[in-house]
Structure 1
Amino acid sequence: MDFPDHLQAVFEQGQRMRQQGYRGRFAPTPSGPLHLGNLRTALISWLHARLQCGQWLLRIDDLDTPRIRAGATASAQEDLRWLGLLWNGPVLLQSQRRGLYSSVLSALRRADLLYPCRCSRRQLGPGRRYPGTCRQLSRGWDPQNGRLPAWRLRVLAADEPHCGDLVLRRADGFIAYHLATAVDELALGITDVVRGDDLAPVCRAQRAVIAVLDRSPPRYRHVPLLFDAAGQKLSKREQAQGLAPLREQGLTAEQVLGRLAASLNLVPEGSALSASELQQHLQQRPELLQDCLQTLDS
């Protein structure tokens, strides 16, 4: 599709950065302290970037303001620094990039790739592919009964046949996760995404957005989740504990890193080593890191 010159320049700059080498990222939502599962994913993402002699960016996904908790962004940075997982460049806040996302939305709307949708989640049911209820209707973009419509993307079956039309702007006015993430991967020149495998299902949606933008997606790799003693995945919503109790017990960063690495069989149980020492260890045994990553490149 045709973009305004300023958007074209943004995406071309991202493509140039991709061509310069590996660029990864860690992108937590500041909805609470990072739990150990988040930190293990950050560790693997950092290691994957460093073993490729690449860049590793820190992006804070803080668009969904009702979920944000005061101090969570600063806490995440402190935890990463304490573990030695240092990032390249400034911290990137999605809340400071709303103008970019809105410009992309405007371009998609001018190209008639968006349509207003007034279906509620209750009407659709959980986890269902959108059936296209509003696709052919002319209900307008103005408020009805005091409520604005969501903005849905017309997803071409040739791009993602199992995806369905995606919400890119929610009815409450918030930019949707799939749009912001897809745009950032392109604009920031991200070549590789390493994240928890609970996010593997969103690849289709984000690839669909990137396809409409006439660009190529990054490579996606996913890390197994960390579970608690009861077999439940760790969750900020369930207030899973992070570094604080371990630091209160007197554990060092090296001991915590050893525990996280041992949980993926990267080092023996009881190991204590720094992030740089773990990187050096895996330079000798790179297959250990690859064994714990699921690749979704197709």
Structure 2
Amino acid sequence: MTQTKQVIGRFAPSPSGPLHFGSLVAAIGSYLIAKSTGGKWLVRIEDIDPPREVAGAADVILRQLEAFGFEWDGEVLYQSTRLERYAEVLNDLKQQDLVYACDCTRKQIFAQREDRIYTNVCADKNLAANENSDVAWRMRHGSGKYSFNDHIQGHCQFDQSIYDEDFIIKRKDGLIAYQLAVVVDDIDQGINQVVRGLDILDSTPRQLRLYEALGATPPEYYHLPLALDKNGDKLCKQHGAKAIESENASELLVRALEFLSYPTTPDLKYLSPQDILSNSKLRI
């Protein structure tokens, strides 16, 4: 008898402000898709970009999730506690010559191509660099196409320039880039189901390259539609998206379900947030 591996999903907000409706859509989508198969749902705070973080936002986010009825499995993981782990992985990649130092400025990169795709000009420079050097570290692109099948968007294939670009995994300012941190965390936490917004879709080929380099199996991907503002732009904290209000939790949960084309009933909004989530099965 074949035993199905337990699903482990996650919700990984950055503490750049409280959760808004778009965040709620990602949270409820990832939660219900994982829970519909009896899986686990983890919460990770992606706090490795201090210039973008708002003091106290991480605690606000966790309190919002609780007020909206979400129950996560295990302890919350904070990326800021994992800097040594990221440095270890980066050093391993250096030893394998899978990364290289790059001293290009944004102005130089923008001048190379109109679409601002980096042309890998530092790949063969062999720049001498140490921890104090003013350089970024780039991952060498692989030979694969890194297309993938998304459970919502279908088969995803991108322009060749995305596959051929050597991308940053450690920034010039010394901060670990999102691409490396998210893959290392997902591997170490055993994440095998990633449900997130459509705005992250074109990051997936780079992350697949990292899975390949680290000898790990990629997760299953679900990229949800984006909630937009009245101007047609993605709802986001940087554009002043309104924080979700705990006193309207049930109504907002129903709105998020309807946004995801989940069939609802008029009386659903009168249930508690916990009951709405426990009675919902979202399969995509």
User: How would you bin the TM-score normalised by the shorter chain?
Assistant: 0.7 to 0.9
Number of the residue aligned with 2:56: 71
Q: How many Å separate the matches in 2 of 1:190 and 1:275?
A: 26
Deviation at 1:269, TM superposition (A): 6.9
Q: What's the counterpart of residue 294 of structure 1?
A: none
Q: Does 1:259 align with 2:255?
A: yes
Query: Does the 8 Å contact 1:50/1:279 carry over to 2?
Result: no
Question: For each residue in 1:58-90, what CA deviation from the matched residue of structure 2 results, as whole angstroms up to 9, or x when unmatched?
Answer: 000000111110111001001100010111111
In structure 1, the partner of 2:125 is: 137
Is the aligned partner of 1:36 residue 2:21? yes
The gaps in structure 1 that reach 5 residues or longer are 1-18, 291-298
Deviation for aligned residue 1:147:
5.5
Cα contact 1:258–1:267 (8 A) shared by 2: no
Q: Which gives a bigger RCO, structure 1 or 2 (Cα 8 Å, sep 6+)?
A: 2
Structure 1 window deviating more from structure 2 (161-170 vs 25-34): it is 161-170
- Residue 100 of structure 2 aligns to a residue whose secondary structure is strand
Q: TM-score, normalised by structure 2?
A: 0.85
The number of equivalent residue pairs is 261
**Superimposed CA distance per residue, residues 167-224 of structure 1 (whole angstroms, 9 cap, x where no aligned partner):** 1111111111100111111110001000011111100111111111111111111111
Give secondary structure in 1 for the equivalent of 2:202.
Answer: helix
Separation of aligned partners in 2, 1:231 and 1:274: 31
Preserved CA contact (<8 Å) 2:250 2:276:
no
Q: How far apart, in 2, do the equivalents of 1:73 and 1:142 lie?
A: 33
Corresponding residue for residue 27 of structure 1 = 12
- Structure 2: gaps of 5 or more residues: 147-159
Preserved contact between residue 51 and residue 279 of structure 1 (Cα < 8 Å):
no
Report the TM-score, using the length of structure 1 for normalisation. Answer: 0.81
Offset at 1:243?
1.7
Q: Which residue of 2 aligns with 1:87?
A: 72
SS of equivalent to 1:237:
helix
Greater CA drift, 95-104 or 146-155: 146-155
Calculate the aligned-residue CA RMSD, in Å.
2.1
Match of 1:153 in 2: 139
Per-residue displacement from partner, 1:105-133 (whole Å, max 9, x unpaired)? Answer: 11111111111101122222285332110
Q: Distance in 2 between matches of 1:156 and 1:259?
A: 42
Evaluate the alpha carbon distance shift between residue 120 and residue 281 of structure 1 in structure 2; reply closer, same or farther with a 3 A threshold: same
Going from structure 1 to structure 2, the CA distance change for 1:268 and 1:64 (only over 3 Å counts) comes to same
2:165 paired with 1:177: no
Determine if contact 2:10/2:30 at 8 Å carries over to the other structure.
Answer: yes
